[in-house]
Amino acid sequence: MTDNDQTKMTESMQIMRIVIWFYFFYTWATLLDAVFIGIGKLKFLLIKSCVINFTVYLIPFILIAVNILFLNIKLIILIYSFSLLGSFIVNLIMYLILLSKNKETMLG
């Protein structure tokens, strides 16, 4: 293995160590997405998309545009990872609101 291959392998492992934890949140967010789709609450998916796009993505984009943040691979990984976490948090909040409003009908 060349030094370049070793460097790429090390960088890949560093990326994996950061992102892997956020995929647990992605799994739960996807589960809640499926619940919303199953009960016909597609507006919740729209709300989540708007919240994530206008916070997790727009804020760093503006900070990059005004040269406060500088684009690099680690920043891209963090933005992506926090979008996974944010999706879970927004979904969980909406699910808890839905559950509290429909406690009798959802729990049987």
- Residue 1: is its pLDDT beyond 80? no
What is the DSSP code (8-state) at residue 28? H
Residue 15 pLDDT level (bands cut at 50, 70, 90): confident
Segment 4-13 shows an average pLDDT of 85
CB 106 within 8 A of CB 68: no
Helix, strand, coil percent content, the chain, rounded in steps of 5? 85, 0, 15
The pTM is what?
A: 0.82
